[in-house]
Amino acid sequence: MNESNDIKSIVREKYAEIAHQPKEQNASSCCGATGCCTVDYSIFSDSYSQVEGYNPDADLGLGCGIPTQFAAIRSGNTVIDLGSGAGNDVFVARSLVGAAGKVIGVDMTEDMIERARENNEKLGFTNVEFRLGDIEKLPVTSNRADVVISNCVLNLVPDKRAAFREIFRVLKPGGHFTISDVVLQGALPQSLVKDAEMYAGCVAGAMPKDEYLATIHDAGFVNVSVKTEKQVVIPDAILLKYLSPAELDQMKNAGTGIKSITVYADKPTDAPCCSGTSRCC
């Protein structure tokens, strides 16, 4: 679990399974992965049923917020969705940018890209594109996007510092991101941190909240603010599959918790496009 490539292989394998499952099956398992930790993923996700642009075929029940709610997306904007899955947030963003805008979804799982493209073909959008790629090295030119969004995906990325530097790079000066993600209050027991299933289940890969926000600042972003924050409660019966009763008690006594948050941040208007990275634009 210490090697980035091993982590990515685990996540890619699990999410390839998820791409072929209905939302109902995903909602009853750990981040949707069959045979994972049977976490009820509805404790993470918010309902999209009243959101403009929502397409049920693209909703796999894998989010932990609604990032478009705070993304200030305008008609004509170019939006990039990181970890776009079957296209749920992409299609919501497309309803906001209109025919004059552009939405690009990026996902590292081929099965997800295929399902998203099938969904888009049914909808007939010509200004929506899905690209296979890695968030730590995005297949997007610099200064491309007005807005970047992501929903419960950055916690799955091994090198989060590289991910936020890439978000900074692809945003136009004056652009911004809104990301929903899972963070920690305190530190998880090592048996959870090292467990592959719990990583793919969006728990073991999460960072402490303060460290997460500091990483965003370090990448060069300003006006960083938490728009929403809610506690995520994983039942003891699930945690006891990975922890001893004593370890579970110790975790609770330490005040360790799991939260879903939605974070907003701006790229400065005068920012050099290569800030925070040695890569040239």
Output the domain CATH number for residue 110.
3.40.50.150
Nearest 5 degrees, angle CA 262-CA 125-CA 140? Answer: 55
Within-domain flag for 277: no
CB 77 within 8 A of CB 62: no
Within-domain flag for 234: yes
Structure tokens at 190: 């090592």
Whether 96 shows a pLDDT value over 70: the answer reads: yes
**pLDDT score, position 195:** 61
Within-domain flag for 18: yes
Task: Give the DSSP letter of residue 206.
Answer: P
Within-domain flag for 271: no
Whether 5 shows a pLDDT value over 90: the answer reads: no
**pLDDT score, position 16:** 75
Cα(103)–Cα(46) distance, integer angstroms: 22
Cα(236)–Cα(88) distance, integer angstroms: 31
Within-domain flag for 274: no
Task: Give the DSSP letter of residue 137.
Answer: B
Please write the tens of the pLDDT for every residue from 168-214: 999 999 999 999 998 988 877 777 766 655 655 566 678 899 999 99
Within-domain flag for 278: no
Place of tokens 């009763």: 245
Q: How many domains does the chain have?
A: 1
Section 24-46 average pLDDT: 47
First to last CA, the chain: 33
**pLDDT score, position 37:** 45
Which among 134, 146, 138 is positioned nearest to 110, based on CA atoms? 134
Give alpha helix (H) positions in the chain: 4-18, 23-26, 88-97, 110-123, 160-170, 190-193, 196-200, 209-218, 236-239, 245-253
3-state helix, strand, coil in the chain (%, to 5): 35, 20, 40
Which among 18, 10, 50, 29 is positioned nearest to 195, based on CA atoms? 10
At 172, the amino acid letter reads: K
Within-domain flag for 273: no
Neighbouring CB atoms inside 10 A of 280's CB total 7
Please write the tens of the pLDDT for every residue from 220-273: 999 999 999 988 877 788 788 878 899 888 888 888 888 899 999 999 998 765
Angle between helices 110-123 and 4-18 (to 10 degrees): 40
Task: Give whole-number Cα distances, 262 to 5, 10, 118, 217, in Å.
Answer: 27, 25, 29, 15
Within-domain flag for 154: yes
CB 190 within 8 A of CB 242: no
Least confident of 140-149, 154-163, 169-178, 237-246: 237-246
In which domain, by residue range, is 145 found? 4-266
Place of tokens 């467990």: 195
Instruction: Please tell me which residue, 219 or 185, carries the higher pLDDT value.
Output: 219
CB 206 within 8 A of CB 182: yes
